[in-house]
Chain A
Amino acid sequence: MENKDLLSEEEQFRELRQLLKEMPKVDAPPGFEADLMRRINSEKYAEAKPGLWERITGFLKPVPSALAVGVVAIVAFVLLVNEPGDEIIQKIDTAVQQDQVASTGTKTDDKIDNSPQFESKEQQYPSKGDAPASQPPPKVSTERGAEYSPAPNTRSTGGNNLPVTAAVASVSEESFDKKADAITGTPKPSMKGAAQGGGAISSLTSAKAIQKVADSLKAKQKDTSTNK
């Protein structure tokens, strides 16, 4: 039975093969060779010319080097803009300003007189003794906006209130704390960015100067009281 099936299958394939063999042969159209040779000759000519790809790559050759130069320029620009020196200078300025706010009792927004005249003015009060007696002690405002109360060791002698001296004396300890923080690099939450690195040094020097002024004022006060 199986052999019969195989035989019939073979027979069927034989028929199929015969059918395929008898199919008419399809020939190349007339002029095929002429067209082919024409194409080959034109391709020969095309070979001599630079191809489209070659032209594109030739055009794009300077692009990588230009890109590299551009990248280097961008990196250099970014580095220059974000140079750490600027930050340090900015921090120094902030630290000095905050120090002066604390010592003079003026707001940061107010224009602080950093010039040497400021010191000379301070020195003028006790020497001339014409500081207004009724002038209330200044309210020193911190950055947070809290009012500053005068320190308990503020002394008023003979109706001569010396607000600057009092403020300096009371604030001196605080400013030294700030400077210590600044030197160790520990930032205080209320003094964002102010107590760091180089800013501490400048504020330390200015605080020392203020301390000297305060000391000299105290000495002069003693002299006037003894004279009286």
Chain B
Amino acid sequence: MSDRRLRDLTDEQLILEFQETNDTELFEAIVSRYKNPLFNFVFRFLGDRDATSDVVQETFIKVYRNKDSYKTFAKFSTWIYTIAGNLAKTELQRRKRKNQISINSWGEDEETMDLPDGGPLPDRLVDSGMKNKMIQEALLKLPEVYREMVILRDIQEMSYEEIAETMGISIGTVKSRINRGRAQLQELLRDIFKE
């Protein structure tokens, strides 16, 4: 199958064709499209790169093995985000049980994170790096329900409808939860806003 044709296909067409043909190329196209958005979403939710890598891989494996459970009436993005969100929550619960949540891992990741080229001066870089670290720490302090909503809306830039579909709740609930989450996050990031 040509790359061009693969690029032209929508997510839903890709998964439906993958259901029919079981062609690995189609699955790889899906992985290529979603690996980074999912990685970003799960990383903001967990704050741990290794755990994020495992969760995202697990998400794709689930998609691969349960491809037939996808129904055409659902949007593929909401389906795959639902799987990733559930796995991320499971991972978080598991880690809570083990009491091994390590915020320090975020600091290590921050050091190796790629920053935009030709950007601000080194002082500014350090400053933005600190700010990002503070935001991430504040996100991790939010209750899970609010955290997920805020990440999906304000970081992943999903619509309220998509979030409602992903979470399986009403749009009104989504909006109220996002507002509460934002308010709590803002309270946690008071120092940044004072500047």
Q: Which residues of A contact B (CB under 8 A)?
A: 12-13, 15-17, 19-21, 23-29, 32-33, 35-37, 39-40, 43
Chain A residues with CB under 8 Å of B158's CB are none
Contact A40-B61, Cβ < 8 Å, known A12-B186, A28-B35: yes
Beta-carbon contact of A16 and B186 below 8 Å = yes
Beta-carbon contact of A24 and B113 below 8 Å = yes
Contact A36-B114, Cβ < 8 Å, known A19-B189, A26-B39, A27-B39: no
Determine which of B116, B135, B193 lies in contact with A12 in the assembled complex, contact meaning CB atoms within 8 Å. B193
Contact A36-B57, Cβ < 8 Å, known A12-B186, A26-B43: yes
Beta-carbon contact of B155 and A39 below 8 Å = no
Measured CB to CB, the nearest residue on chain B to A19 is B135
Is B28 part of the contact surface with A, judged by Cβ < 8 Å?
Answer: yes
Is B2 part of the contact surface with A, judged by Cβ < 8 Å?
Answer: no
Beta-carbon contact of B40 and A27 below 8 Å = yes
Q: Which residues of B contact A (CB under 8 A)?
A: 24, 28, 31-32, 35-36, 38-40, 43-44, 49, 52-53, 56-57, 60-61, 64-65, 109, 113-116, 131-132, 135-136, 150, 154-155, 157, 179, 182, 185-186, 189, 192-193
**Can you give 9 contacting A-B residue pairs, CB < 8 Å?**
A23-B136, A28-B56, A29-B49, A29-B53, A32-B56, A33-B31, A33-B35, A39-B57, A40-B61
Give the complex CA separation of A26 and B114 in angstroms: 8
Most B Cβ at <10 Å: residue of A13, A17, A32, A36? A36
Most B Cβ at <10 Å: residue of A15, A17, A26, A40? A26
Beta-carbon contact of B28 and A26 below 8 Å = no
Contact A16-B185, Cβ < 8 Å, known A28-B35, A33-B32: yes
Beta-carbon contact of A23 and B132 below 8 Å = yes
Contact A40-B64, Cβ < 8 Å, known A16-B186, A19-B192, A25-B40: yes
- What total count of A-B pairs have CB within 8 Å? 81
Measured CB to CB, the nearest residue on chain A to B32 is A33
Give the complex CA separation of A29 and B113 in angstroms: 11
Chain A residues with CB under 8 Å of B61's CB are 36, 39-40, 43
Give the complex CA separation of A15 and B61 in angstroms: 38
Give the complex CA separation of A36 and B61 in angstroms: 8
Contact A20-B154, Cβ < 8 Å, known A12-B186, A33-B28: yes
Beta-carbon contact of A15 and B193 below 8 Å = yes
Beta-carbon contact of B135 and A20 below 8 Å = yes
Chain B residues with CB under 8 Å of A32's CB are 35, 39, 53, 56-57
Give the complex CA separation of A25 and B40 in angstroms: 6
Chain A residues with CB under 8 Å of B185's CB are 16
Measured CB to CB, the nearest residue on chain B to A38 is B57
Beta-carbon contact of A21 and B32 below 8 Å = no
Beta-carbon contact of B36 and A28 below 8 Å = yes
Give the complex CA separation of A191 and B38 in angstroms: 89
Determine which of A24, A27, A29 lies in contact with B132 in the assembled complex, contact meaning CB atoms within 8 Å. A24
Measured CB to CB, the nearest residue on chain A to B115 is A24
Contact A36-B40, Cβ < 8 Å, known A17-B154, A21-B157, A29-B53: no
Determine how close the nearest CB of chain A comes to the CB of B170; give it in whole angstroms.
21
Chain A residues with CB under 8 Å of B189's CB are 16, 19
Give the complex CA separation of A19 and B36 in angstroms: 20
Q: Which are the 6 A-B pairs with shortest beta-carbon distances?
A: A20-B154, A28-B39, A28-B35, A26-B43, A27-B36, A26-B40
Q: Knowing that A12-B186, A16-B186, A26-B52 touch, tell me 4 more A-B residue pairs with CB under 8 angstroms.
A: A13-B182, A23-B44, A24-B116, A39-B61
